[in-house]
Amino acid sequence: MSMSGVKIDPNCVDAYLKVKNNKTKCCVFKISDDMKSIEIVNESELKFKRGQQDPEQFKQFKDFFPEDNCRYAVFHAIIALEGSDGIKAERDRIVFISWAPDTAKIKSKMLHSSSKDAIKKAFEGIGIEFQFSSQEDLCSKEWIDKFQDLPNIKMAGTLIEFEGVKCEQWDDIE
């Protein structure tokens, strides 16, 4: 249970483990309408296509974030780095997303914020967290910039691909 008293539906942990174990690409979670629990947003689990990076899945994933309501999510991102030796290496990272748009109600944002640590603790092994508050934040360019700013990524090289597409070729900015 979180500090806010919001319970985490056990299905949320199962959904996270599916992402962690390469069964699904992502999953999105929300605080229930009665504000008592954190639950899965139905249909937000996209099947993980092993060895197949699909930029369409990233675009679909971005549609799960409403303009006026908070969400949590996990996304299995695949990136490619080029080391100083010129060798390309693929990495995958599970990213925890905290979505609290500026347009959400204050009460909703407060509950979201006070429940975040509990859901993150329930999801063992989360190393990367991105916080977003506008649709522009969700664009690939933001993800690419945030990844490149991570110390362990910086040390490993330059980010050259995100979800199988060269960084400079992403075109999801509306």
Predicted local confidence at residue 13, as pLDDT: 96
- Give whole-number Cα distances, 23 to 30, 48, 97, 120, 131, in Å: 21, 5, 19, 20, 24
Confirm if 115 and 3 have CB atoms less than 8 A apart: yes
Cα angle at 93 between 126 and 112, to 5 degrees?
A: 40
Distance (Å, rounded) from C-alpha 146 to C-alpha 71? 19
Instruction: Encode pLDDT of 100-143 as tens digits.
Output: 999 999 999 999 999 999 999 999 989 899 999 999 999 999 99
User: What pairing do the DSSP bridges indicate for beta strands 128-132 and 88-99?
Assistant: parallel
Domain span at 141:
7-169
Domain of 43, CATH number, reads 3.40.20.10
Question: 145: part of which helix (H) or strand (E)?
Answer: helix 140-149
Residue 42: predicted pLDDT: 84
pLDDT score of 127: 84
In a domain, 2, yes or no: no
Asked if 12 and 31 count as a contact pair (C-beta separation under 8 A), the reply is no
Mean pLDDT value across residues 9-36 = 94
Mean pLDDT for the chain overall? 91
3 state DSSP class of 88? strand
- Residue 54 has what pLDDT? 80
Q: What is the pLDDT of residue 174?
A: 52
pLDDT band at 50 (very low <50, low <70, confident <90, very high): low
DSSP 67: T
Total domains in the chain come to 1
User: Is 161 contained in some domain?
Assistant: yes
